[in-house]
A and B are shown apart, each in its own frame.
Chain A
Amino acid sequence: MKKIFLLLFISLSVSNCKKNWLDTYPPDGPTPANYYQTEGEALTGVNACYDLLSAQLDQLYGLGIDAIGMYCGDECVGGRTAPRDFSAFEQNTMNGSEVTVQNIWRNCYTGIYRCNLLLEKISDLNMDATLKARYKAEAVFLRGYYHFELLKCFGGVPVVTKTLSPDEARVARNSRAETVAQIEADFNAAIPDLPLKSKYGAADAGRVTKGAAQAYLMKLYVFEKRWAEAITVGQAVVDSKEYKLFDDYNDNFSTAKENGSESIFEVQCKTGTGTGEGNAHYDLESFENTPNPRGYTQPLASLRTSYQNNAAGQKDPRRDFTIKVNIISSTLLASYKYNRPQTPQPAIQYDGELNYKLMRYADFLLLLAEAYNESGDAASALTNINLVRQRPNVNMPALSGLAQQAIRQAIYNERKWELAFEGHRYFDLVRWGIAGTVLRAQGRTFIDGKHELMPIPVSEITLNPKLVQNPGY
């Protein structure tokens, strides 16, 4: 009798337990294999590709590429000694262990991974064909875009066009030409299926447009000094009549005018979401008014003076649109494009509302002017420069009758004044081949043949020995 009960017990214990009793599933997310099954799910996948365009602190444009553009150039110093790598960038003592370069590398490849995953998942999805084409085009453009940001910082990098397993991920760097070719191919592939800015619904404001893809393709050609191709694609943007400079320069930094007529591409920022969509630059530029004032972008005095040393000998109004004299101490300067008096102060630090500008029409026109000038069309170059100079509330005298070299110099200056603190300066100086001369004149270290590129993150080389460090590092 006892034995029977015992056997019964043991057999019940074992047999009643279904084999799957040990199966548990994470309740907070489906497996990728079960996801991307509907149009709506595909859209969340597309949105996630944009997620890496972020101006939150330590993201791509929150002391990422923006920091290199500003601090490695001759715009500013990090002000109060900051816990991050500014002094390394200012002094060109970076060695690849900086958090900033690691974040740029990681964030760009995370973006690329998401684009590739979406492209792989969406191909068999049964959904509206036009929309599907647009989703794919958005992802393809962003893949090219992230590669372009890597190219700017590091030169040729591993080109990744599919999702990789850990075994496949240890790949060597592609050459600069191969990287450029992929970016060009992606931009070209995206252009046909992307809607014009005006063709998107209002709720889609901020998505990549046909104009943005064309403008970035032009920018790539300018970086690669392929002037004729730059002009062709650039002129298409102009002819689309989708873009127009704001009459008021300050509208570029107004929350009311986000994604306005001058906007080609910008990081869509929003405060208070709780999932990190804010813009860190409000606090980075701030000397006062915030819980923990930083003042990490202190303009060099030479930059401020340069606004007055223009050919006309006249003070450029953009000086005071860009730099303010700090109210605490009159000897301190502060940039304030994202920290305007009317910009709302975020409730928590580094969580500003204002969109971070990636490409404005003014930036575009100056790149186009450069392409015209370098290909010998001085008149078209001057037309485009003067558009920027003569927006109503800047209204600097039109330039005329200049030769190619003088126009080149004018473009150098114009970009410096127009686009200060928007993360372009260092990349422009390098592109123009004058970084060494300009930066050494400012007392900064710059070794030609080395400091044109950032070091590949040392941590990445450790993990992937096939990566070869940039020269000099």
Chain B
Amino acid sequence: MKQFFQCFLIPFLLFCAGSVSFAQNITVTGTVVYRPTSEPLIGVTILVKGTPSGAVTDVSGIFKLSAAPDAVLVVSYTGMETQEIPLEGKTSLNIELQDAANALNQVVVVGYGTAQKRDIAGAVSSVGTERLAKRNPRSIEEAFQGEVSGVQITNAGRPGDQATVRIRGYGSLNNNSPLILVDNVEIGRFATVDPNDIESVTVLKDAASAAIYGNRAANGVILITTKKGKGERQTLSYNNWFGWQKSTSKIPMLNASDYVMLINEAVDNVNVDRAASGQTELAHIYSDEEVAKWKGVQGTNWQDELLRTGFMQNHYMNLSTARESSKYGFSLGFTQQDGIYIGTDYTRFYGKFSAEHTFRKKLKLGHNINLAYTKQNTGGDYYVSRVFMMAPTVPVRFKDGSYGFDDKDPGNGDKKNPVAMVDYIDWTNTQNQAYGNIYAEYEFFPGLTFTSRFNFDRRIEEKNYLEHEYRLGNVSQTGFTDVADFKDRTWNTDNFLTFKHLFNNKHSLNATLGTYAFHHYNNYLSAKGFFAPGVTDYVTTLNAVGPNNREIYGQPTEYKILSVFGRAEYNYDSRYYVSATLRRDGTSRFAPDRRWGNFPSVGLAWRLSGEPFMQRLKKISDVKLRASWGELGNSAIGDYDWQSRVSFNQNYVFDNTLAPGAAPTALANQKISWETTTQTNLGLDLGFFADMLTFKIDWYRKDTRDILLFVPQPGTIGAAGSQRQNIGKVRNQGWEFEAKFNPTIRKVNLSIGGNLALVSNKVLDMGGVWYTVGREGYSHIYREGYALRSLWGYKTDGIYQNKAQVEAGPHWPGAGPGDLIFKDINGDGKITADDRTFLGNSIPDFTYGLNLSAEWKGLDFSMLFQGVYGNKIMYANANFGGPGLGNFLYHENLQASALNRWHGEGTSTTQPRLYWRSDPGNNNANSDFFVQDGSYLRLKNLQIGYSLPKKWLKNAGISTFRIYAGGTNLWTLTKYPGFDPEIAMESSDVYGWDYPMAKTWIIGLNLDF
């Protein structure tokens, strides 16, 4: 902390105490009106070009500012075309704005500043307010899912859980998450921001745009700005929605009658083999009387018992006030969602206070403070898998009211009644977060500004887990509590100088030079203990736990970064663009001699449409060629991976007393350094008919080298199994296409947009090592020549129909008729682990989105389709049988497809035989039998709204009154047989057990005063 004062605060204060002076400016006044109606426009932003100074129109559409006599004013207003007006000494202006046909003049937030879309040389995509207002997203991720090419978003089903966001594929084997900044603050979780509060989202994809963020920009950068105070008058908005959600699908499972028949058949199949080897036969699980009793009975449908329609609601209010030199913004949000799995829900309170004050037009001081409280009831959702495992013959409750259990397998602790578990387990995660920034901007003279920002994020997460004492069948559990506190504290500071100037109206220069420091501290504390028998109904805290089996963990870690950066952007007459960025980062995560990395980038662009020879081609409004190259860093590894240390608690026992032991357990590597991504981008922007139709095409190659990988080491070393090393190279290469068409046909404003991103991912080099992860430890592979996390396993070739067929070729030792035929890939005459091979790519070949919207008078309509194509999913549920394939290890239920099982020669060529509690034919090994196509196309969002005409509202002081109805995930086209194909590639190794995705319907209201 002391160093923090020395390094940043003292200079900051000294700087603030600096003197203030004035330049030779003239005062300009003017009015802005809407061209079709000549109505004054309120809240229009007028900026002096090349400077941050400007003004905003008041209720009468009047503005007043001071500027140099030769200045150019930039007049912009949401949804309207931005104009540039050279002052040429004038002191009074009448400006008319019209609806934006030309999106190119839109101002987009970019790294350390803003830029007009026209002048962007890199690969940048953005989603602005207009689009967001029509989608009413329920989460930030939803706000741009399907809207932006090259960004793959995979939602999590459980309310409050983070979606996975990937920009341009998967480069690293560590962390592929982009850097996400909300109002310049890196926040750990999206989920704490109320999506209503988002003003805009910008995605920086290529190196030239992201390089200014150097050290964590390798996976792209997402910049989110929230609504601030603006305009010259007070505005008050209130939005709400109410919704209902249910699972997108249900999986057909066996009913009780079929289940009883099949489990007995599985025993019969065992008995065939037992008889052959002279062993006694096993009895049926269900006796003949029981079979007769269950005949035709449906039994318990556990999906119906556990999945429900959840209610949810959101209320959001925003107040914006501006006085002459001060702007205030105030937002409040409340969200409450019931999950579709019983016992799960999510609540969020969100508040934001922002203010900005201008002192003598030179110094700006401001702050954004966000507060969020979230609470997630995870209930028993760990037991989602039990939805499928529970036998349909088990009642939710027995007749006497006690919870049901499987009396055929009463001691099986892996299959507890999930309804009971929701009751027996109380599990909440709460989070308190305060984040935001204070900042100062000082304008030395028009064009030269110094900005100093101090950003902070303080987050406290609490996990409270309580498992009550219970007994289900022969399974009993002592009550226990397991609590954890997760305290997270981050600050960072940006201090930078910006110089913007337009020389001779032709040469535009924009330069930035700054420093950055970052500190992250996290302290994790958890404790667990067991209660004395019989007390958990009234004691719940750690103070009541007994002395045995207490577990205590605590681990503070910290992480620091120090950086300097500079960027220069030059363009000549908005035709020729050159930019260069250099950032130098040092991190505490590497040894002192390895910690500094330099990350350069360059960008070039040529806007042909600015050339005189193009002016004759009136139909072509924009042509721009873009090229960029740059290097970015990644150090997303453990905070202390380079430092070897002795671990305590390597204990032993002497004389029945714990004897402390200590030994190093990890294999540190002092030589590790930055993982580096080199990205080359080529792009083309096209606009026709005054940009009514636009295209954007990008090609990129993104090579990540020196990947910080845990490289497995031979056991003979003896410490840990693996060591961090900089090793290997992964290539992501692809194309991105975006097209927009915004015609107005008979007063209907139409908008059609589409995007498509093709990516191919390949591991080019892994230093000769490869390894597998996932189900049974080998369902997914990281290996040279394959895409990251490709599916791995055996190939199969139908089902053995008879004994002769089994004997005819290589087979597993225990294989018999009815088992899967495994292919002898290496041709050695045996089926062994060496026959495992590539089974498919888990990364989609392409992702796409299509949005359509129309407005006619007060009616608006929008829909968004989104999809992925070409990815494969290992749809196999570890240990618990697969889809229609099972050995009843846990007397689990099976999918209805099990009815197609092999049960005698010629009965099935697709589903193997059932075999009670063992798997002699290895049918459960990872194989192409389980591989499913993960492609899908879905109607992600649909909304129909109606805004009351303004003239009706004028007297009530209401500017917008819009009601709407819509939904998400309403329709899905997919071949995937599980709950939902939208599952994150790396989310889970037990595919098919994820929390189901929800289909929602909402109705809502937008009200602006």
Contact = CB atoms under 8 A, between A and B. Distances in A.
Nearest to B442: A2
B808 interface: no
A164 B716 contact: yes
A113 B663 CA distance: 10
A81 B643 contact: no
A271 B444 CA distance: 71
A288 B475 CA distance: 10
Contacts of A44: 648, 650, 660-662
Interface in A189-220: 202-207
B123 to A, nearest CB: 32
14 contacts: A21-B7, A22-B560, A22-B562, A25-B640, A31-B645, A32-B664, A47-B652, A106-B721, A164-B718, A293-B474, A443-B277, A458-B833, A463-B714, A463-B715
A309 B286 CA distance: 38
Contacts of B530: 347-348
Interface string A11-33: 01110111001111111111110
Interface string B631-655: 0000000011001111111111111
A432 interface: no
B587 interface: yes
A13 to B, nearest CB: 5
A26 B643 contact: yes
B663 A48 contact: yes
A24 B712 contact: no
B151 to A, nearest CB: 32
Contacts of B651: 47, 51, 273, 275, 277
A403 interface: no
Contacts of A80: 917
Interface stretch (B167-175, B544-552, B786-794): B544-552
A177 interface: no
Interface in B785-816: 813-814
A240 interface: no
B719 A50 contact: no
Contacts of A411: none
A113 B476 CA distance: 41
A426 interface: no
A125 interface: no
Interface of B: 3, 6-8, 10-12, 14-15, 18-19, 21, 277, 411-414, 444, 450, 474-478, 495, 497, 515, 517, 530, 546-552, 555-562, 586-588, 592, 595, 639-640, 643-664, 667, 711-719, 721, 723, 769-770, 813-814, 832-833, 879, 887, 889, 917-918
Nearest to B450: A6
B917 A5 contact: no
The 6 closest A-B pairs by CB, nearest first: A113-B718, A272-B548, A292-B413, A47-B661, A48-B661, A29-B645
B592 A270 contact: no
A61 interface: no
A27 B648 CA distance: 12
Given A32-B664, A35-B662, A347-B549, A113 B719 contact: yes
B376 to A, nearest CB: 27
A71 interface: no
Contact of B10 (A12, A35, A106, A204): A12
A24 B547 contact: no
Query: Chain A CB within 10 Å — which of B11, B414, B495, B497 has the most?
Result: B11
Given A47-B652, A458-B833, A13 B661 contact: no
B663 to A, nearest CB: 4
Nearest to B409: A80
A380 interface: no
A384 interface: no
Contact of B717 (A102, A164, A443): A164
Nearest to A87: B918
B277 A25 contact: no
Given A6-B497, A29-B645, A41-B662, 9 more contacts: A1-B19, A28-B648, A47-B651, A51-B651, A91-B813, A274-B549, A292-B413, A457-B715, A464-B716
A273 B592 CA distance: 39
Contacts of B515: 10, 13-14
A258 B832 CA distance: 45
Contacts of B549: 271-274, 347-348, 351
A21 B3 contact: yes
A35 B592 CA distance: 22
Nearest to A54: B652
B757 to A, nearest CB: 35
Interface in A169-185: 169-171
Contact of B652 (A170, A259, A277): A277
Contact of B655 (A32, A203, A288): A203
Contact of A8 (B11, B413, B517): B11
A166 interface: yes
A17 B475 CA distance: 60
A31 B644 contact: yes
Contact of B550 (A49, A269, A270, A274): A274
Nearest to A165: B717
B656 A166 contact: no
A207 to B, nearest CB: 6
Nearest to A203: B655
Contact of B7 (A17, A274, A445): A17
A51 B650 contact: yes
Contact of A23 (B588, B652, B662, B918): B588
Nearest to B414: A292
A318 interface: no
B645 A26 contact: yes
A24 B718 contact: no
A110 B813 contact: no
A459 interface: yes
A24 B411 contact: no
Interface in A264-283: 268-275, 277
A24 B716 contact: no
A95 interface: yes
A51 B661 contact: yes
A47 B557 CA distance: 27
Given A21-B3, A47-B652, A272-B549, A463 B712 contact: yes
A258 B3 CA distance: 57
B713 A292 contact: no
Given A275-B649, A288-B474, A291-B475, A24 B723 contact: no
Nearest to A276: B651
Contacts of B648: 28-29, 44
A289 to B, nearest CB: 9
A174 B994 CA distance: 48
A14 B495 CA distance: 12
Contacts of B713: 166, 169, 463
A26 B645 CA distance: 8
A97 B21 CA distance: 76
A9 B17 CA distance: 11
B548 A347 contact: yes
B551 A274 contact: yes
Nearest to B495: A13
Given A48-B663, A164-B718, A13 B11 contact: yes
A113 B548 CA distance: 31
Nearest to B664: A32
A39 interface: no
Contacts of B414: 292
A231 to B, nearest CB: 32
A360 B471 CA distance: 39
Contacts of B667: 166
A18 B517 CA distance: 13
Contact of A292 (B411, B639, B649, B917): B411
A12 B547 CA distance: 54
Nearest to A19: B592
Nearest to B713: A166
A158 B716 contact: yes
A463 B781 CA distance: 15
Contacts of B444: 2
A51 B367 CA distance: 55
A215 to B, nearest CB: 19
